[in-house]
Amino acid sequence: CVVWDLRKNDPIIKVSDSTSRMRCKVVAWHPDVATQLCIASEDDHTPVIQIWDLRLASSPLKTLEGHTKGVLSVAWCQADSDLLLSCGKDNRILVWNPNSGPGEIVAELPTSNQWSFDVSWCPRNPAIISSASFDGRVSLYSLMGGQQQVQPSNSVSDSFGPGLGEVAGQPQHTPQVTCQLKSPPKWLRRPCGATFGFGGQLVSFETVAGVGGAPSKPAVYISSVVTEPELVEASSKLETSLREGNLGDFCQAKLATLGEDGDKSKLWQFIGASFGENCDQQFLKLLGINLDELSSQLKALLEPVKENGIEDEVIEKVADLEVTEASDEFEMIAAQAVAAPEEVPAEAEAPALTTLDQVFSLSKDPTSDQGQLTIALLAGDIELAVDLAIKQNRFAEALILSIRGGQELLLKTQALYFQKAASEDKDVSSVALVEAVAMGSWEKLVEHCGLDSWREVLAALVTYTDSNTKQVLSGRLADRLSADGGDNVVNGLLCYMVAGDL
């Protein structure tokens, strides 16, 4: 293989491998490095492709061995120097990567029954390859995947005309071949790009051309683009809190800048409470529900009123009076009586009486309600007694008896009681929460409650349910509030905070 200078019409250098007697058939220049070329041998004994550098012409840089018979044509892709195409007498079309180590076969194209004597890359679309074979056909291939149909050659059809080569009753199958490269080619790679990162960071990259024939290398640059210093400072504080784990302090600092009023302040209060140790109690406090204060108020309502309250008030007023000189004996006696009142011992509080502390009689009349209940109890049939009490609309007795009958009977009686309460044309608001606490029907409570009672429903979920149930049902309540819109959007955000759905 001789390289000529066309301006002088003189040979410059002769390329020959002294170690082998290969006959050079085709030559292709490297698309990026002007001093490199490849030559291919058509000899069946040495079917190789050699990569040469004219600066080191004593021996080839690399030898590609893959064909079993002589190579007839080679083509180097102008858009990607990592792709080299070859075809040979072994009826194979190979796609090489001559720059990877010893040379790697990255794809093999399907062929017909005849040899391909020429291959070429499309100058406009480098993903398209053409090949010319000795059967007079030019085939087009795509390296971007997909399926390509291969038309089989039928000698009978070629000799006697179309339609005579098919056998009646035999299905005709057209083979389909998929061709795809192992790695994306260079023309699909972006030459440069940029993207923004967290904290005002800008990451950009580009391909830097090599010096002195060296391959191109990608370069990555990281720079800071600060257009809003306050936002960058806030993001830095957040990163520090996330790294050190002091999220509660971060929320408190946020609240200090926002103040105590406003929807954003409420939201940050709930976020800060979720990072505390006793978050449920904090949630109740933020909802405006103080359990200790409410319990004290209810206990005060249940305490009996003192009968001697008026006497105590009179005694306190009289004790505040000052006694001076007595004008007569009667005033002296009254003054002595007020100064030293007689202490009357408090009477012992009598125990409360029950039904068994009174005289009673048991009736076994099956026609009366009392008799039916007595017979069932004497027979030891608690379940029957409960059914009779429910039929007689005596739910207090039914619930008391169902406790003796076991947990299953108690749940059944409770369910019947709540069903009856719902069937009556009355406001069931006072019974709904009782049913939820007694029966554990928290899903129904969340589904059917009025949105004006979302605060109380959320407090009930925090007080009675476990963590998983609280998160799920608080999220459902938040969905209802968000779908309603208006002021309930902020309320829905608070419920999402309790649910932990950030």
pLDDT in tens, 53-64: 888 878 888 888
pLDDT of residue 348: 52
More confident residue, 247 or 177: 247
pLDDT of residue 112: 74
How far apart CA 454 and CA 420 sit, in angstroms, is 26
- Which positions ≥6 away from 148 have C-beta within 8 Å? 110, 141, 142, 176, 177, 178, 179
Query: Average pLDDT in the 286-306 region?
Result: 62
pLDDT in tens, 343-398: 545 455 567 777 666 676 766 677 777 777 777 766 777 788 788 878 877 778 77
How far apart CA 21 and CA 62 sit, in angstroms, is 17
The strand pairing partners of 244, in sequence order, are: none
Determine contact, residues 120/130, Cβ cutoff 8 Å. yes
**Per-residue DSSP letters for 368-437?**
SHHHHHHHHHHTT-HHHHHHHHHHTT-HHHHHHHHHHH-HHHHHHHHHHHHHHHHHSSS--HHHHHHHHH
The beta-strand segments (E) located in 112-233 are 116-121, 128-133, 138-142, 144-149, 176-180, 192-196, 201-208, 217-224
More confident residue, 339 or 306: 339
Copy the structure tokens of residue 283. 């949630």
DSSP tag of 355: G
User: Closest Cα to residue 247, out of 275, 283, 268?
Assistant: 275
Residue 120 has φ and ψ, to the nearest 5°, of -160, 150
* pLDDT band at residue 163 under the 50/70/90 scheme: low
The beta-strand segments (E) located in 243-384 are none
Query: Average pLDDT in the 161-184 region?
Result: 55
Residue 421 burial (C-beta neighbours within 10 Å; 0-12, 13-18, 19+):
middle
18-45 residues labelled b (16+ CB within 10 A) or e (exposed)? eeeebebbbebebbbbeebbbbbbbbee
pLDDT in tens, 438-467: 778 888 888 888 888 888 888 888 888 888
* pLDDT band at residue 502 under the 50/70/90 scheme: low
How far apart CA 428 and CA 322 sit, in angstroms, is 59
pLDDT of residue 342: 53
- Which positions ≥6 away from 196 have C-beta within 8 Å? 202, 203, 225
Query: Average pLDDT in the 150-160 region?
Result: 53
Determine contact, residues 62/80, Cβ cutoff 8 Å. no
For the entire predicted model, the pTM comes to 0.40
What's the Cα-to-Cα distance from 414 to each of 373, 394, 399, 407, 434, rounded to whole Å?
19, 13, 7, 10, 10
pLDDT in tens, 369-383: 777 777 776 677 778
Tokens 């002091």, located at residue: 246
Query: Average pLDDT in the 419-428 region?
Result: 72
In the predicted model, is pLDDT for residue 339 greater than 60?
A: no
pLDDT in tens, 254-280: 777 777 777 777 777 777 777 766 777
